[in-house]
Chain A
Amino acid sequence: MLAAPKGGGLSLWAMLARRLALGLVLLWAVSLVIFAGTQILPGDVASAMLGQQATPAAVASIRQELGLEQPAAVRYVKWLGGAVTGDFGRSYSNRQDIAKSIAPRLKNTLLLAAMAAAIAIPLSIALGIACALTAGSWIDRTIGLVTLSAISLPEFFAGYLLIAYFSVMHLWLPSSATVSEGMSLGQRFVVMLLPCLTLVLAVVGHMMRMTRVALLNVMTSPYIETALLKGLPRSRIVWKHALPNAVSPIVNVVALNLAYLVVGVVVVEVIFVYPGMGQYLVDHVAKRDVPVVQATGLVFAAIYILLNIAADMISVIANPRLRHPR
């Protein structure tokens, strides 16, 4: 490099380390919010969990089991200490070890989300680029209108629409996505196809529209005009001059929507009875099983934060100003 980094500016590694550290702080703060979120009740958790069957004896027994006679701060420290070491305690409703119940479900959820991402990311970036290149034409407007509609569909409507067509009217694909340990990868794939498609539908619209905007913003830069005036072919202008500068905003867009997968997956799992984290969470919210809700909430939030940190880092790396300090 020409010039050594001047004092004051952070080097790339220092910056990445800082983001990671900030992410950890954020995750800790989020754990506090989630814990506090389950304690905001005017009464106490025990009577809420029991609802109408709250006899004094039952309440007392739960209070004891959850250690509610201890101050909230003590309970929080215990809970967080356990969570860090992978011990989320036992479920109230079925007495099972929560960590053991979560592990296979987390795997299923991540598999589903990864499968959806693997289809959605290339598809939406390709569509976004196609729209940006043909901005204002009928291709752009048609794709724009279709994706606007896709954005507006609630996941459950999209899911049931797919079920109605592929499972009920044609019997091509199963309507429920029950997977089990013994299934081969191919079988899993078939079963997961509909939930995966529903998820893709949920995110592809946003990703594509935001990719388009990011690229169009770059295409209005003066340096694109410079490239035009150089007489460069259009393909070179797009690939060599526009895309490298659009990477950072596009990565952000992709990450934002991957994070949205975390939300979408909850609904999709319920629709297709897919044994993942989302279904687990919703079931136990209905049962008011606080320990399970805290644990799954924390895991979901952690995934979400990790994705955001990853996006942050990739867009830092993609920025030449930061890769080559003054």
Chain B
Amino acid sequence: MSRLPPLTPLAVIGFFGAAAFILLAGFAPWLAPHPVSEVVGGVWEPPSADALLGTDNIGRDLFSRLVWGARVTFAIAALATALAFLLGVSLGFYAAVRRGWVDQLLSRLNDLLMAIPTLIFALVVLAVLPKTMIVLVLVMAILEATRVFRVSRAIAADLVVLDYVEVARLRGESWRWVILREILPNALSPLLAELGLRFAFSILFLSTLSFLGLGVQPPIADWGSLVKENKDGLLFGVFAALIPGAAIAILVICINLVVDWMLQKTTSLKRGRRDG
């Protein structure tokens, strides 16, 4: 990317944190000292050589569960974000270049979906849908896609009226060429920032759902589930629940640092962040 601003120390920290998370998720089997469900000691034991961060509510190694949980969190959030972009960007670009009734229809439908707060919408449909990973990914992807649609439609609508896009249309170029060669290359940097933003939001959203007991179901656990499992310890002075919580916070801060750096030039995109 030629238009990115020079790296700042904060952006470097952000990149470092995000990379560490991806490594953790990728190399979980080699990094985790214990299998995910193995009971290694008593309930909520303090940190020891065997359990680096202590044990959880039924005596499993919290550190190992954190490492395995990174995998689940990453897989679901990344999959949902990727799907959301595939759906949101293609429909958003399509609406922007076709204009007319196609655009009206898609945009109004999107407004309608966005008129319901994401979490409320998710809760309503999760009340009847089976609690599987596929359903979870799909629900998250569709809700995210509405936000991606709005952003990418706006970006493409700004570009499609530019003279060079019109020149290509006058030449008789196909929509495929117009979208892939004239619009997409010029939309990449704002879309990349949006990708980071949506990924951060996906992680928060997934953790929240799991925390409420409506996301990832046992025996599989993401970071949100780990908070839920260990939250009762808090009242006994056991802070095990705070560790996965802090992990989520640190990861999202890191991603936001990277996004902030990418957005330095284009402040307008910041408006779209975590909108309900």
Contact = CB atoms under 8 A, between A and B. Distances in A.
A116 to B, nearest CB: 15
Q: Chain B's interface: helix, strand, loop or mixed, by majority? A: helix
Contacts of A29: 112, 115
Given A160-B241, A256-B276, A33 B249 contact: no
Contacts of A290: 127-128
Nearest to A303: B117
A270 B237 CA distance: 20
B274 A206 contact: yes
B118 interface: yes
B200 A293 contact: no
> A153, A163, A256, A259 — which one has the most chain B CB atoms within 10 A of its CB?
A153
A151 B242 contact: no
A270 B208 CA distance: 11
Contact of A164 (B224, B239, B273, B275): B239
Contacts of A155: 208
B129 to A, nearest CB: 7
A304 B256 contact: no
B235 A267 contact: no
B123 to A, nearest CB: 5
Given A160-B241, A262-B276, A286-B213, A26 B115 contact: yes
B273 to A, nearest CB: 7
B270 A148 contact: no
Contact of B256 (A152, A259, A267): A152
Given A152-B256, A157-B227, A164-B234, A293 B118 contact: no
Contacts of B270: 209-210, 213
A77 B156 CA distance: 40
A266 B119 contact: yes
A284 interface: yes
Contacts of B117: 259-260, 262-263, 300-301, 304
A35 B186 CA distance: 41
Contact of B124 (A37, A151, A164, A262): A37
Contacts of A157: 227, 242, 245-246, 248-249
Interface string A304-317: 11001000000000
A32 B124 CA distance: 13
A79 to B, nearest CB: 14
A154 B123 contact: no
Contacts of B212: 266-267, 270, 282, 285
B170 to A, nearest CB: 32
A297 B252 CA distance: 28
Nearest to A155: B208
A305 B115 CA distance: 7
A156 B129 contact: no
A33 B108 CA distance: 13
Interface in A250-277: 253, 256, 259-260, 262-263, 266-267, 270
10 contacts: A30-B112, A37-B125, A148-B253, A154-B207, A154-B211, A156-B227, A157-B227, A213-B267, A290-B127, A301-B116
Interface of B: 10, 111-113, 115-121, 123-130, 200, 204, 207-208, 211-214, 224, 227, 231, 234-235, 237, 239, 241-242, 245-246, 248-249, 252-253, 255-257, 260, 267, 270-271, 273-276
Given A154-B204, A168-B235, A263-B118, 18 more contacts: A29-B112, A29-B115, A34-B124, A37-B124, A38-B124, A38-B125, A40-B128, A48-B128, A148-B260, A151-B273, A152-B252, A154-B252, A160-B245, A161-B245, A164-B242, A286-B213, A301-B116, A305-B115
10 tightest A-B CB contacts, nearest first: A157-B245, A152-B252, A152-B253, A293-B127, A297-B124, A285-B127, A263-B119, A300-B120, A263-B117, A37-B125
